Amino acid sequence: MSPHEDLAVFRGPRLSTLLTRSHKELAKRDGALSGGFTLKDLNVHEAQNIRSFLGTEPGRRPDQVKVQLEHLDTVVRRGYGLGLLELFDALGEPVRFRSQLRREAEDLRERILAPALASPLHDQAWFRAWIEHRNTQSAVSQRVTAGDTESFAHAVRVLEAVEAHGSLRGGSGISPLLLQNLAVGVTGDTKALNNRTALSRLVLPALAARRGTTRPDESDAEECRALWEENDVVQDDLASRVLVLNLPADGRVLGSWLTEAAEHGVPLQVTLHQLVRFPPVPTSPVIHVCENPAVLRRAAGELGTASAPLICTEGWPSAAFHRIASAAVAAGARLRYHGDFDWAGVHIAQRVIERYDAEPWRMSAADYLDRVRTESPELKGRKRATPWDPSLAVAMVERGRVVFEESVDSALLEDLVAR
């Protein structure tokens, strides 16, 4: 029989188990015909068909057939005029040797990493740390498997845009980057950087490295949003706001509004758009910061103009908070921070304290133990460090209870009125 004349026997189910395993073994052995393998757990018909094709006798196990690659190659060559490797070529399933696949994977990995290695950001330690992190390397490996040469390059371009924007901004009134504009500019898709997309999963750990903070919890949309905003990327500069009380400031328009509101003890909600358009310069030497608006509301209602300057983050600090806090610190102010005694609360505290060299405000283990009760809500979530007072995290783990900021607001108000 001439080569390729009748390969129907190899296209049906009779020898599919034999061919599948042979194909895998040849790929693993780089095409070498030495050695063999054993097919196991065959049914009666499968075993009979394979033995009949190979011309071998049954062994001690009727559900197993031992196969020598060299013998199989000889059987195919004698019966069909072509070798085993040629057979797979003829069937449209050429064997790709493991060494070849390894070289191709290495070449593809180099192509995927090339934009990062060629980026001007590669001179920066945070960028190299991100590339070398095991999670990033794992993500690159996944893209090698998928043959994806675009995603990592997109991530690098996003980081380059963020860094370029940061170098332009400095202390000026440059507008923040809008997330959707950044996404469409890099990928053509306005939603490519939305929370928990493949691209955002690549970029957010790099942004954390850029800010010198811990990698974000991808399931926490607020934490991810805050990390974007710490890097001056926002979804909406009108939606990004900060609540302030008694914070006089220099500067036209917004500075005047802040000063006039402080003269009357009236809370003012300031948008990022206003802060960019009319950058204020806060004039208070000490500014208290709280996490929950209920604290600021009570200070405004009970203390009015007697309250010390107070800024509220309303949960995770927004880009608007960072603008006004940065302006205050640049003008010489010292921040004092208080928040919830839960894991998210102490994580927010850590970020604010580290970024602005802020003073912890009633955020010690003693403060926590003084207020925690057995009936307090259960402490849940991912444990966080409290480097300003390591014993605080220990106490929180031991008690396992939350102390919300509102439950200590009387003590906070005493500090605010005492200035």
Q: Could you tell me the pTM of the whole model?
A: 0.67
Give the residues of the chain that fall short of pLDDT 50: 1-3, 171
Residues 123, 159: Cα–Cα separation, whole Å: 13
Burial 68-86 (b: 16+ CB within 10 A, else e): ebeebbeebeeebebbbbb
Which tens digits make up the pLDDT trace of 379-410?
999 999 999 999 999 999 999 999 999 988 89
Tokens 């950044």 — which residue? 182
Which tens digits make up the pLDDT trace of 248-287?
999 999 999 999 999 999 999 999 999 999 999 999 999 9
C-alpha atoms less than 13 angstroms from C-alpha of 260 in its C-beta half-sphere = 7
**List of domains in the chain:** 8-96 (no CATH), 100-232 (no CATH), 241-418 (3.40.1360.10)
Tokens of 333: 């102010």
| pLDDT at residue number 1 | 42
| pLDDT at residue number 328 | 97
Residues 47, 65: Cα–Cα separation, whole Å: 7
| pLDDT at residue number 391 | 98
Residues 379, 365: Cα–Cα separation, whole Å: 15
| pLDDT at residue number 166 | 82
| pLDDT at residue number 243 | 97
Pick left, alpha or beta for residue 4 (phi over 0 → left; psi -120 to 50 → alpha; otherwise beta): left
Alpha helices in 172-217 (DSSP H): 179-187, 198-211
| pLDDT at residue number 172 | 52
